[in-house]
Amino acid sequence: MKPLRMLPARAWCLDRCKHKSFSSSRPLRRERALPWRPAHSASLTTEQSVSNRWQDAQPYVLPEFQGLQSLNTRQGHVSLIGTNIKAVADHSHEAAQPMSTVLLRSKESRSVAEQENTRREIMDYFHATFSLTEKLHEMFDSPAAFYEKHERLRHPPIFYLGHTAAFYVNKLHLGGHISQRVDPILEMQMAVGVDEMSWDDLDPNSYVWPSGKEAREDPARALAFLQKVLNFRRDVRVLVNDLMAKQPMEWPIGKESFWWVIMMGIEHENIHLETSSVIHRQATLEHLRKVPAFGSCPQGIFHTSPQTAAALGCPVNSLVPVSAGTTRLGRSWEETSTYGWDNEFGIEKQVEVPAFAASKFLVSNLEFLSFVEANGYSTQRYWTEEGWGWVSDMKPRAPRFWQQREGKFYLRTLCEEVPMAWNWPVEVCNHEAAAFCKFLSEKTGKSLRLPSETEYLRLRDSVPTDVQDSAHGPAWGADVPGNVSLAYWASPCPVDLFPSPIGVYDAFGNVWQHSETHIDVFDGFRTHPLYDDFTTPTIGGLHSRIMGASFLSCGTVASRDNRFGFRRHFYQHAGFRYVESDLPVINSVSPYERDREICDALRFHFDAPAEGSFHARLAEVCTDVLEKQGLSLESTKAVELACGPGRQVLELARRGVASVHGADRSAKFLQGTAQRLLTGGRLRWTNYLEGDFTVVREMQVQELSMKLTADVQWHQMPDLASIDEHKFQNYNLAILAQPGALGPDPVATLGSLHRVLKPEGILVLGTQYDWPGARQAASGVEALTLHLGQWFDPIPVDAVDIPFSVQRTARIFDSGVQHVTFWKRRSEPRPEQKQAPPQSVLPLSSEELAVGQHLESHFGPQAEYPLACGSRCLEVVRSLGISTNRALELSNGPGRVAAELAKAFSHVDCGGASTELVHSTRDLFLGGELRWKVLEDRTASNVVERTLPSRSLAAGNLDFFCMKEQVIPDDVGSYDVICVFDLLDRLRSPKEFLQSLKGRLNPSGLLVLSSCYDWSEDLTPKENWLGGFRYGDNDGPSSYAGLRELLTAEGFKEVLPPEESWFCVAQQADGRTGRQMQAQMTFCRL
């Protein structure tokens, strides 16, 4: 198979007969401006000559010189200082290059020579796209223009000029292909784009670049920062060029390859070339000048009045029948021949598309004028609710690129204003396109609407040079069958120039085409690990598919399989066609839930397999007690209170309970299960891993392996302490057993539970006894008896302990054991117990409670982790032959590790961030005995007293100090070993803290760090996190990678691989509530 070729460059005439009609049936071609060279030639520009024979081909050697010729950094560093930027375009007359993408896989193997040819294709492609972005920005005639927000919902052009270059560095760094950055500040600041939630969601943030106002007031600063960005682009170009020249070539090229990352950067550049051009198109003309590389189509009916004979001669639209048939959705990561974004991949399906009729032409400016003149923008019935909200707020009266003055019509193109091109396609947002269809339906009496994704693909499949088996991408020769990829012009063109075999024009190209379909992912969707949020933020019903491509869509942006989704108020070079069909487009998109509280709940309920889970065990316990009480599942009506997302409800239904209702205080926990999983067939959410790092999760209803024949209902019950017994009553079984289900007022909730049950009904109650119960109770179970006794009798079956674990991050789990008891509702209340017993009072102060929990975790009977850490430190010290003179332990509160070190070291200092814990631990050690109290059972207020003689620890010389404002005192000296445990993610500036340790450590000393990397902005500003953060569409390093990078820069060397340790911090001595954590221990040496 031959490689896909770059298309020949063409130049075009810039003269325009603005008031003449052009009726040619074929587009006017641009004259050839540059000699065409094969795709394996060295460059798409003419600054150097390299042999076409692969054997003689040398790596690119990019020229380097100073001086202003253009903004094209391929020529070297662009020097703007002391020059007139208006002279830039005078030195740059090359036409923009039409571009196709590069073949990455074929059925045939490739020789070394052919693989080297692919290398040069990709290098050519990279430099061409990189230069084209720079050439686009030559339209601006002053530095200040780069800083104006020409589109108020987007960043200014200076951002996008730097953003596409920063993307390469960020993705190459994230993929481990480079270790050194070019400009970390720019790479961070220019990574964060804007995806506005609504048309009035403005970005108020400040950035490293000047604002438009600042640029106007300080032109020198504006010029200097523009120079900085251009220098950055040149440096990135050189970096990527050199990497491509040295990187071993592969065939085929898969998504894990270095070359896939390069293609990702190239196609990302192509996307922003187009979106940037839309921003340029909204800049005032005073900021712009013509650039020959981006000339407009000279063909068209141009006139300021629609009433001229020429304008009235525009093509009249009609409907073209399209027969029923199939179209393909999806493609495979493993078999793709070209680069693609993650939403293009999934299980490939052939989809049946019913017959419909499509408009012969895209809707032209003249055709859309009828909507404007019929007061379409002020007629609410034409608009969707969302669309009317946009109209009411933004108050448009015509398409954005139309200009009207003194009754005359003009059209704004990229960098000029021309008399209205009446036979060009109108360019509007999705809301306007949908409103026009409603207007035209009413006018004609036909069922007209925007096409669906699959209906459009039926049109696209008709183009013979781009059918479904053409390597999933453009495979055109010299004659591109549409106004696309800059093959003809940098503007729209008449709607009747590019016919397809089925009789519709502009099956693709000219302008994008709005659709009725909300973007969603295919079954089998997987994100790419280097860009895991390219798609998922757009899934949720707020983004609609745009189909086809525009005149400026280059590379895979113009491929059949592109799947871009934009908010419906978003402007692109986009128009539309309408279709006639009686079938509505069904949009049922399940969004990716991102609310942290909801996501954690969904993870607990649905991320683990059913068998063996907390929910399966609880359902089993419930059905067992029903059977033991002689109640059949088929006649049981059950309700789970505080059900959360409701996995337990589904488990009961799966086991045959006839009617199961789920009720929760908040509807937000129910919506995912009720509206998305059971109705839409799938549930999507985000699992949090470390800091900002996440992974998306999708569950399909088939994974439940159940046939839900039961009556399953979902209800919001805002206050379990005040249940509406008219709405919720006569249940045989009520369950209140999820962790935390008793809520903020457990006693009041217990007093209300009888309302939902019929007499003899069964209550299944689970608790960890972590709430204040009856004052006179000797145990948690006795407290339950006192609180429930008025309306309930205990069922004489054994209580059941069910362990659970709620995962919060990759390393942290809230864990515990629910004690499940069983109760039967009485027909009448006990007359002698009409009032709830008084609640207990916590017998420990908050300080005593904190100290007790700290000492329990360090010295209690389950304190295995700090003992293991101390022992492991001593093992490493001995194996490395490190001096045992002085050691330092630093933690939130010092304790067991220091005591273990003191068994071997002559002196150990203990430093802590908590003054209370430091003082308490010191006083206990100095007193010769450790004494503390810890809660065993909060409900009954039972307290356990612990005693541990200091001498039993066999600790040597210990001293304690407090780190005021997280700073180590100057007078503590230096150490052979420094251990930092459970502290890094609690510090305001862990980087400064770690850097300060270097001066405290003796030569060849050992630094031991242990952390769960549980970053929180409440403790550590995000800019100070060592890792686990996101910036824009990029992941920062993992916390371990960021830690290692920092310590390496400070002269430390890792002497052992990281080690993982599990430990549990109990909040009660009975072990029913606590937290399990996995800490990573690292060992570094100066």
Average pLDDT, whole number, for the chain?
A: 85
Q: Any idea which residue has 């010389």 for tokens?
A: 957
Q: Out of 481-485, 661-665, 950-954, which region has the weakest mean confidence (pLDDT)? A: 950-954
Residue 123's closest CA among 291, 247, 296?
247
Which secondary-structure segment (H or E) carries 282?
none
Residues forming beta bridges with residue 891, ordered by sequence position = 912, 981
SS3 content of the chain, % helix, strand, coil (to 5): 30, 20, 45
What's the one-letter identity of residue 117?
N
pLDDT given for residue 836 in this prediction: 60
Q: How many CB atoms lie within 10 A of CB 113?
A: 12
CA dihedral of 163, 168, 173, 176, whole degrees rounded to 10: 160
Supply 622's token pair.
Answer: 């419930």
The pLDDT confidence band at residue 847, using thresholds 50, 70 and 90, is confident
Answer with the residue of higher pLDDT: 84 or 997.
Answer: 997
pLDDT given for residue 115 in this prediction: 92
Buried/exposed 224-261: b ≥16 CB within 10 Å, e otherwise: ebbbbbbbbbbbbbbbbbebbeeeebbbbbebebbbbb
CA distance linking residue 780 with residue 936, whole number of Å: 10
Q: How many CB atoms lie within 10 A of CB 444?
A: 11
CA distance linking residue 767 with residue 771, whole number of Å: 9
Per residue in 460-485, pLDDT tens?
Answer: 988 865 433 443 445 566 678 899 98
CA distances from residue 316 to 25, 282, 364, 719 in whole angstroms, order as listed: 15, 30, 9, 63
With a cut of 50, say whether residue 38 has pLDDT above it. no
Under 8 Å between Cβ of 192 and 125? no
What's the one-letter identity of residue 244?
M
CA distances from residue 85 to 231, 319, 480, 837 in whole angstroms, order as listed: 15, 50, 35, 83
pLDDT given for residue 208 in this prediction: 85
Write the DSSP symbol of residue 362: P
With a cut of 90, say whether residue 951 has pLDDT above it. no
With a cut of 80, say whether residue 658 has pLDDT above it. yes
Sheet of 402-405, strands arranged across = 402-405, 408-412, 417-419
Q: At what angle do helices 647-654 and 596-606 cross, to 10 degrees?
A: 20
What's the one-letter identity of residue 212?
G
pLDDT given for residue 954 in this prediction: 66
Asked if the bond preceding 27 is cis, omega within 30° of 0, the reply is: no
CA distance linking residue 557 with residue 485, whole number of Å: 9
Q: Which of 25-29, 79-83, 309-313 tops mean pLDDT?
A: 309-313
CA distances from residue 806 to 295, 813, 1015 in whole angstroms, order as listed: 60, 5, 18
pLDDT given for residue 11 in this prediction: 27
Per residue in 798-812, pLDDT tens?
Answer: 999 999 999 999 999
How distant is the alpha carbon of residue 769 from its chain centre? 39
Per residue in 180-194, pLDDT tens?
Answer: 899 988 998 888 765
Which secondary-structure segment (H or E) carries 698?
strand 693-700
Q: How many CB atoms lie within 10 A of CB 276?
A: 24
With a cut of 70, say whether residue 879 has pLDDT above it. yes
List all residues 6 or more positions away from 391 whose beta carbon is below 8 Å from its beta carbon. 377, 383, 431
Report the predicted TM-score, pTM, of the whole model to 2 decimal places.
0.80
List all residues 6 or more positions away from 286 whose beta carbon is below 8 Å from its beta carbon. none
pLDDT given for residue 1069 in this prediction: 83
pLDDT given for residue 863 in this prediction: 80
pLDDT given for residue 874 in this prediction: 94
Supply 555's token pair.
Answer: 């590379």
Angle at 53 between CA 49 and CA 57, to 5 degrees: 60
CA distance linking residue 907 with residue 546, whole number of Å: 70
pLDDT given for residue 67 in this prediction: 37
Per residue in 189-223, pLDDT tens?
Answer: 888 765 555 545 445 566 889 999 999 999 999 99
Tell me what the mean pLDDT of segment 918-937 comes to: 77
With a cut of 50, say whether residue 513 has pLDDT above it. yes
CA distance linking residue 89 with residue 294, whole number of Å: 12
Q: Where are the beta strands (DSSP E) in 576-619?
A: 579-580, 592-593
What's the one-letter identity of residue 675?
Q
Under 8 Å between Cβ of 663 and 641? yes
The pLDDT confidence band at residue 825, using thresholds 50, 70 and 90, is very high
Judged by phi (left if over 0) then psi (alpha if -120 to 50, else beta), residue 506 lies in left
The pLDDT confidence band at residue 970, using thresholds 50, 70 and 90, is confident
pLDDT given for residue 298 in this prediction: 95
What's the one-letter identity of residue 918?
V
pLDDT given for residue 476 in this prediction: 65
With a cut of 70, say whether residue 99 has pLDDT above it. no
Per residue in 138-192, pLDDT tens?
Answer: 999 888 999 999 988 888 999 999 999 999 999 999 899 998 899 988 998 888 7
Tell me what the mean pLDDT of segment 335-341 comes to: 87
CA distance linking residue 320 with residue 290, whole number of Å: 39
CA distances from residue 1009 to 769, 896, 902, 980, 1058 in whole angstroms, order as listed: 35, 15, 18, 5, 10
CA distance linking residue 378 with residue 358, whole number of Å: 27
With a cut of 90, say whether residue 989 has pLDDT above it. yes
CA distance linking residue 159 with residue 151, whole number of Å: 13
Under 8 Å between Cβ of 777 and 1038? no
List all residues 6 or more positions away from 423 whose beta carbon is below 8 Å from its beta carbon. 300, 301, 314, 315, 364, 365, 366, 494, 495, 496
* Percent share of the chain, pLDDT over 90: 57
Per residue in 591-610, pLDDT tens?
Answer: 888 899 999 999 999 987 65
What's the one-letter identity of residue 233?
R
Angle at 370 between CA 368 and CA 375, to 5 degrees: 105
- Strand bridging mode 659-664 / 711-716: parallel
pLDDT given for residue 478 in this prediction: 67
CA distance linking residue 816 with residue 808, whole number of Å: 14
Residue 336's closest CA among 270, 272, 246, 267?
267
* First and final C-alpha spacing in the chain: 56
Q: Any idea which residue has 């217990």 for tokens?
A: 750
What's the one-letter identity of residue 169?
V
